[in-house]
Amino acid sequence: MLEKLLHRLPEEQRRRLARARHDLRVKGEEGRVALWSWSTHGLERAHDVLAAERSAPPAALTRPLLRAVDRGLQQATALPVAGYDEMNARTAAAAVRGLHLLDLERISRHERAHKDRKTVHDAIAHERSRIHAPPVPEA
């Protein structure tokens, strides 16, 4: 029903509506990436603080906290593509096609920390550009 109503709108209004929907979706994804980045950074900082305190007297308290932080960090940084570490550059670049911004950020971060392959970074940049591209040409 909504689609029928949308088709009644003039072309320019449909384009504006499509652009607004697209912008809203991209901003939502960017928000999820920012939240993920902040929480991952917080977990990494907590890990560093707790790991430094392991030799201090309250080690019995810090060990369980450190394990919990490490589990949270593993979950937050889990790669969205199974077998990613075993992929060659071309296969990894193909694997990022169609991923959302948050998954692209996870792969990008992992790639920077490990193999740092230009082919994969270029594919990620291309996907980000595709996601940010407007759905219809601007009038």
- pLDDT given for residue 79 in this prediction: 94
- pLDDT given for residue 2 in this prediction: 65
The full set of domain ranges for the chain reads 13-77, 84-134
Q: What is the mean pLDDT of residues 107-116?
A: 95
Q: What is the mean pLDDT of residues 14-36?
A: 89
In sign, the C-alpha dihedral spanning 14, 18, 19, 24 is positive
Residue 124 burial (10 A CB sphere; 0-12, 13-18, 19+): buried
pLDDT bucket at 21, cuts 50 / 70 / 90: confident
- pLDDT given for residue 134 in this prediction: 84
Q: What is the pLDDT of residues 62-92, one digit of tens each?
A: 788 888 999 999 999 999 999 999 999 999 9
Greater confidence (12 vs 94) lies with: 94
Mean pLDDT for all residues in the chain:
87
pLDDT bucket at 131, cuts 50 / 70 / 90: very high
Q: What is the pLDDT of residues 39-54, one digit of tens each?
A: 999 999 888 887 776 5
Q: What is the pLDDT of residues 27-41, one digit of tens each?
A: 999 999 999 999 999
